[in-house]
């Protein structure tokens, strides 16, 4: 296969590992900076242009689109899909996963366990919103945040009111969420490929921190997960339409609750923590699945 890795960082761990794994299995791989791609959408033959050439040789592309570049990145990916090129994760699924609220709505539709979550536009409803999620302490999240930025634990009703008020004042979209205290500042990252969890780890926030993000100084170690956690992770990826996903779960008194489904999960944390060659497993899956036009949502918004 000729595989295009759509990534802005050829030196990033995940990008390098994917190229390495592809070559090791006898494929060709090229890193393509999707921001440097441009497209011709007026012609009958959709094409992607890159560095003075037309990219028409790929059998498959692996999108590694940065959160802040979702709009342009998914547009380029959609163009590849319209050319019949197989995408490991499709543009529609990536767009869904990048919107926290939309993701939670899709997951709830499938009956997947979630922390009680509320969402409002106007500060008039803040009091009710806080009550809706069970009162303080509660977590307030910026819809557009990543890596734990814009995730705040409000310990009192008053603190919650001021944080929500301040965010809304800035015209930001926020959601209020039940605080899962018993998770103890840890979450479980399940790395899903198609219908399997191929690796899992527990991430623990540093002392005094309820957010377990590795970017915030959290640490990770391998963790065996229960069958219920396994099936929750796989169902979540399916609900979003993702072949590859990093599903983050909180361990609550009532079983696993899904916090987030990530469509570009990093490989470094999981490979280092578990010793599993996840990149190889991704390429192996693509060998079976990557057929031309094997795209569920081609051309859809």
Q: What are the residues binding ligand ADP (CB under 6 A)?
A: 115, 139, 141, 145-149, 151, 177-180, 183, 187, 205, 210-213, 248, 250, 259-260
To the nearest whole angstrom, how small is the minimum distance from the Cβ of residue 49 to ligand ADP?
A: 33
To the nearest whole angstrom, how small is the minimum distance from the Cβ of residue 286 to ligand ADP?
A: 26
Closer CB to ligand ADP, 17 or 203, in the complex: 203
Closer CB to ligand ADP, 20 or 209, in the complex: 209
Closer CB to ligand ADP, 17 or 251, in the complex: 251
Tell the burial category of 271 from Cβ atoms under 10 Å away from its Cβ (0-12, 13-18, 19+).
Answer: buried
To the nearest whole angstrom, how small is the minimum distance from the Cβ of residue 146 to ligand ADP?
A: 5
Closer CB to ligand ADP, 73 or 205, in the complex: 205
Q: Give the number of other CB atoms < 10 A from CB of residue 208.
A: 6
CA distances in angstroms from 92 to 67, 240, 290, listed in the order given: 14, 9, 17
CA gap 282, 278 in Å, rounded: 6
Closer CB to ligand ADP, 63 or 115, in the complex: 115
CA gap 48, 190 in Å, rounded: 33
Under 8 Å CB-to-CB from 287, ≥6 apart: which residues?
1, 25
- How many residues in the chain? 301
To the nearest whole angstrom, how small is the minimum distance from the Cβ of residue 184 to ligand ADP?
A: 9
To the nearest whole angstrom, how small is the minimum distance from the Cβ of residue 109 to ligand ADP?
A: 19
Q: Parallel, antiparallel, or unpaired for β 186-193 and 174-178?
A: unpaired
């Amino acid at each position: 296969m000729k595989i295009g890795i759509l990534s802005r960082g050829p030196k990033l761990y995940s990008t390098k590992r994917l190229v390495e794994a592809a070559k090791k299995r006898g494929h060709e791989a090229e890193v393509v900076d999707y921001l440097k791609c441009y497209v011709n959408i007026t012609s009958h033959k959709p094409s992607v242009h890159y560095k003075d050439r037309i990219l028409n040789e790929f059998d498959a592309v692996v999108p590694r689109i940065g959160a802040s570049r979702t709009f342009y990145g998914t547009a380029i990916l959609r163009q590849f899909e319209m050319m019949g090129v197989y995408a490991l994760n499709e543009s529609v699924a990536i767009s869904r996963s990048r919107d926290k609220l939309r993701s939670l709505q899709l997951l709830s539709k499938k009956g997947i366990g979630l922390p009680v979550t509320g969402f409002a536009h106007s500060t008039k409803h803040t009091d009710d919103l806080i009550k809706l999620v069970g009162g303080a302490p509660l977590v307030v999240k910026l819809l557009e945040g990543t890596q734990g930025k814009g995730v705040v634990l409000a310990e009192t009703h008053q603190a919650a009111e001021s944080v929500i008020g301040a965010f809304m004042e800035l015209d930001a979209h926020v959601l209020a969420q039940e605080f899962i205290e018993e998770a103890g500042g840890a979450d479980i990252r399940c790395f899903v490929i198609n219908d399997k969890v191929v690796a899992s780890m527990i991430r623990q926030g540093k002392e005094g921190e309820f957010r377990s993000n590795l970017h915030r100084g959290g640490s990770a170690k391998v963790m065996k997960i229960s069958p219920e956690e396994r099936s929750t992770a796989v169902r979540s990826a399916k609900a979003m339409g993702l072949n590859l996903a990093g599903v983050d779960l909180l361990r609550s008194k009532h079983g696993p609750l899904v916090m987030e489904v990530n469509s570009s999960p990093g490989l470094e944390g999981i490979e280092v923590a578990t010793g599993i060659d996840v990149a190889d497993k991704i390429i192996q899956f693509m060998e079976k699945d990557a057929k031309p036009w094997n795209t569920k949502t081609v051309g859809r918004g």
